[in-house]
Structure formats: C-alpha cells, structure tokens
Amino acid sequence: MTLLLLGLIAAPLSSADAHPGHAIRPVAPEARSRHPANPRDRRWLAGDHHVHSWFSVGVKAAADPSQPPILIKAGDASNPITTNASMAARHGLSWMVATDHGGPNHSKLNRNEAYPELLRARRATPSVLQFWGMELDTPAAEHSSLILPRSASEREVLFGVESRFNRREPWPADPARDQEAFMLEALRHMRALPQPPVVIANHPSRSATDVGRYGLVSPSELRAWNDTAPGVAVGMEGAPGHQASTLKPDGSADPKGDRGGYSRAPTMGGFDQMTARLGGFWDSMLGEGRRWWITSTSDSHRHYTDGGSDFWPGEYSKTYVKAEHTYDDVLDGLRNGRVFVTLGDLVSEVEVTAMTADGARRADIGGRLDVAAGSDVTVVIRVRDPAGKNFGGRSPDVSRIDLIQGDVMGPAADPHLDSNPTTRIVRSFAPGAWVREGERLSMTYVLKDVRGPSYIRVRGTNGSELEPQPDPLGEDPWSDLWFYANPVFISVR
C-alpha cells in the first residue's frame, strides 16, 4: 500500500461526510457527543459491556411468606467487581461496564453495596474505564445492558431507572412491568435524562427455537425500541457471552455444551443468528438506514475453570471502540457505531474507509459518505492480524475477509421483517488478494457507478466456511473464530 493511501485513511472525517442521505436516518439528538473528541487522538480500545459480579444475586424465599424473598450475594455470579476489573486489565481491556441484576429490591443492593465497590475498583485499576450500569431485566424481553455516562449523579440515576422500570424489581411481581409498552416508557424516560444512557439488547436469540423463529426478543420489538429512543437503544450483542460453555474445567470439550447457552437455535460461528445470517435481521435494520450496531461480550458470571461457563472479560471476546481513553468518548463511540468485534483475538484493529475517487471525501466505520449519483467509491480495508498466541494458547490467522454490501431502501412496511434480499458479498479476499506488511493486511475494492444509497460492512474468519454454520455441541470455541465490523453508510445526492 502506498504512503499516499495510508495518508488518506488517516485523514479525519470532514463535516460534509455527515450529511444525511436519502433513506439513511440522521443522527438522533441524544447521539451527538457533548464533548467532541479530536478524531486524530482516537484509537481502538477493547472493552466489555456485559460483566457480572457477586452482586448478581440468587433469590431465596423468606421464612415468612408475607415478606419479600432474600437476595443471596454471589448466588448468580461469583467475583467481586474489583476482581473483574483486574482480570479485564490482564486480558487487554481498556473499558468495562458493571452490569449486575437480581430479584426484588435489587436496586437498593446496587445503590448501597455494588456502587461503593465500583468506586474501589476504579481506584484499584485506573487503567480500565469502569462504567456504572446494570443488566436490565427487560420488560417483555430478556436482558439488556444499560450503560450510564460517568457523572456525579450516576448512582442515583441508575437507582431511579432500576427501581422504576426493572421487570423483577417489585414484590409481589407486577405483570404490568412485563409489557412491551412499559419498556417503551422506560426508553422515553432514559432518552429524556440530561445525560442519556446507552441500551444494548443482550443475547437476542437465546430463546429462539429455530432460525427465524424468535423467542422473547423479536424484530418488531427491537424496531420499536430504536424508533422510541434511537440514540439510546442503539444495538444488540452480535456475539453473546458464555462461550466457554463447551469446555470442562480442565479445558477439554464438554460434548453436551452449547456455545452461548443457545440450546435450541445454536449460534453460528459464535454469533447470534440475528447478526450471523447474511441478509438476515441485522441487514434488514441496516437496509432501513437504521444506525443499529453490534457488540460482543463475555457475560462473565463464573469462570469455566471454577465450574462456570464463562471466560474472563477480554479473555475470548472483545468489543473495540474507536475513541480517546475517556468515559465520554468511549460511550460516544458505542452510541455512534465506531465499533468492531472479534473472538479469540483473531484481529486487533479493523479500518474500513469508503472514499470518493479523488480522496476528498471519506467515511469510516459508523460513518456516512455522501456522493453524487454515478460516482465510484473506493473501499480500503486494513486489518491487524496480531502475531503471537491468544489466551487460548493458539495463534490464529485470518483466512478470509468478506466485503458485504446491501441497499438502503427506507422504512420497512412490516415491523417483523428479518431479511434484506439485496445483501451480497461483493468481494472475498484471501491471502493472495491482500498486501501484508508485518501484522497488517491491506486490500482495496472499487464500487463502480454508485446510483443508490447503500451500506458496506466487513467480516472475517480463520476458518473455511463460506457462511457461518450452526455451532455443534461441544465445539472448541478457539477453533472457530470470526470478526465483524459495523457498517459504513453511503448516501447519494
């Protein structure tokens, strides 16, 4: 790759590249950063927004049936927040979110005990930005990561949301809290906060019974969330946690274990079907021009060597955000899709840049390029395939990278839509089709005569499957690795 091309990629996104195009949704007001960073100071920071501590409790019936149940510390997850933070640092993370949940009155436990421990963890491991949040027991769904901006009021803000809207908070249980309308009310409340949080749907297809047969989380539900608070409800876990559920404590295969705990409709290459299916639900959302992003997490409760089904934060799964090492900019990156995800440290940097033929206008992951009808668009992909062994003792190599494109057609008439038939692989790159400079792989493709709005996205693997296949029971998670980058939108004027 020439020095000129490297310079084009490094150049900042111009203000002209942010113009909304036909059928591509503009940025929601709450998605605009209050403290804009200098794009030149941003770098890829690995993190995890779904991490449990011993404040994710068990529930035991009280001796007096007229009293609420007793919350049992370490009943659902076993590690202190301080331990999670130190292990996150050991496994290469720069940011993490504490996301505990539990039964009735858990909001008080979070406020009175978990939050002080978070403050201790921040002092003990200052290299890791540690957000305050929770795993919301989501009304009419399953779970969602709720990530709060760092502020002096974060403790009381979370208490307000959890006590008022968490599905499992009241005792006796309140059926009205398990209605989709109640989740939309919660999102309106969060959107109106002075510093709105980010909400990401966790393991969205874990309760699905087959491909396209969804369970507690449906396409129409996620569309309603995004419609209600487009700068708050911004995405979903592309790859769920619990990826060590196929391993025994000694690291050998558990023939009955299913990756991610997806017992009925398995993951595909470790990813949820809503993400992994080419032209599936994720592509249907992008085909509407929605700014709908994917992430990847550990969902760490208990390490597999201690009899759990989890890796430590960062040990296997990483969500990389392009940001300065500040709370504000990491959250801004999550909110605005400057994100790629990887399993097993297959890659550690991914750049996808779409630019006009003269290089004057460009956009990167999470961004938008505005071009004239009939223009050619040059796509430059750069990936870092790190040398050395990952935390599984393997040295995986990228074997293929796919450049994927789909048309943006505007709002769907059917809120249950989970397909985009225009999605296609426009180019697959193998080792002979890229330039290697040390750990870095570079490749280029030109989209000719662009006439309508579209998006591009990139994925890659260390395997040979043309499409990610359903993961069999007992699969070695270290042998089947994928990475995915969030899209770049191309609008046409």
Q: CB-based burial of residue 62 (10 Å sphere; 0-12 exposed, 13-18 middle, 19+ buried)?
A: exposed
pLDDT of residue 16: 34
Nearest of 222, 212, 302, 205 to residue 263 by alpha carbon: 205
CATH superfamily of 3-492: Metal-dependent hydrolases (3.20.20.140)
Please state the domain extents for the chain. Answer: 3-492
pLDDT band at 23, cuts 50/70/90? Answer: low
Phi and psi at residue 247, to the nearest 5°: -115, 140
Instruction: Give 284's contacts (C-beta < 8 A, 6+ positions apart).
Output: 219, 412, 417, 418, 419, 420
> Mean of the pLDDT values across residues 431-444?
98
Instruction: Give 204's contacts (C-beta < 8 A, 6+ positions apart).
Output: 142, 214, 217, 222, 236, 237, 272, 274
Three-class DSSP category at 466: coil
Q: Which residue has the higher pLDDT, 19 or 423?
A: 423
Task: Report yes or no: 56 and 300 within 8 Å, Cβ to Cβ.
Answer: no
> Mean of the pLDDT values across residues 269-290?
98
Asked if the model's pLDDT at residue 33 lies above 70, the reply is no
Asked if the model's pLDDT at residue 194 lies above 50, the reply is yes
> Mean of the pLDDT values across residues 382-402?
98
Mean pLDDT for all residues in the chain? 94
Distance of CA 167 to CAs 75, 210, 245, Å?
Answer: 19, 26, 27
Classify the C-alpha dihedral 417-190-163-48 as positive or negative. Answer: positive
pLDDT band at 5, cuts 50/70/90? Answer: very low
Nearest of 271, 314, 269, 368 to residue 128 by alpha carbon: 314
Instruction: Give 361's contacts (C-beta < 8 A, 6+ positions apart).
Output: 14, 16, 17, 355, 369, 370, 371
* Token pair of 289 as six digits: 């021009």
> Mean of the pLDDT values across residues 74-97?
98
Residue matched to tokens 């595909």:
268
How many CB atoms are located within 10 Å of the residue 2 CB? Answer: 8
Phi and psi at residue 470, to the nearest 5°: -55, 135
Three-class DSSP category at 412: coil
> Mean of the pLDDT values across residues 228-249?
98
* Token pair of 473 as six digits: 């029971």
pLDDT band at 18, cuts 50/70/90? Answer: very low
Phi and psi at residue 146, to the nearest 5°: -110, 115
Give me the sheet containing 375-384, strands edge to edge: 362-363, 349-356, 375-384, 440-450, 435-437
> Mean of the pLDDT values across residues 5-16?
33
Asked if the model's pLDDT at residue 58 lies above 50, the reply is yes
Asked if the model's pLDDT at residue 14 lies above 70, the reply is no
Show the beta-strand stretches assigned E in 364-421: 368-371, 375-384, 400-407
pLDDT of residue 35: 62
> Mean of the pLDDT values across residues 20-39?
69
pLDDT band at 206, cuts 50/70/90? Answer: very high
Report how far residue 377's alpha carbon sits from residue 361's, in angstroms, rounded to the nearest whole number.
10
> Mean of the pLDDT values across residues 104-114?
98
pLDDT of residue 192: 98
Percent of the chain with pLDDT over 90: 92
Residue matched to tokens 């592309």:
238
Nearest of 238, 491, 446, 485 to residue 365 by alpha carbon: 485
Task: Report yes or no: 171 and 60 within 8 Å, Cβ to Cβ.
Answer: no
Can you give the pTM of this predicted structure?
A: 0.94
- CA angle in degrees (0–180, nearest 5) for 76-77-81: 140
Task: Report yes or no: 403 and 426 within 8 Å, Cβ to Cβ.
Answer: yes
Q: Is the bond preceding 431 in cis, omega lying within 30 degrees of 0?
A: no
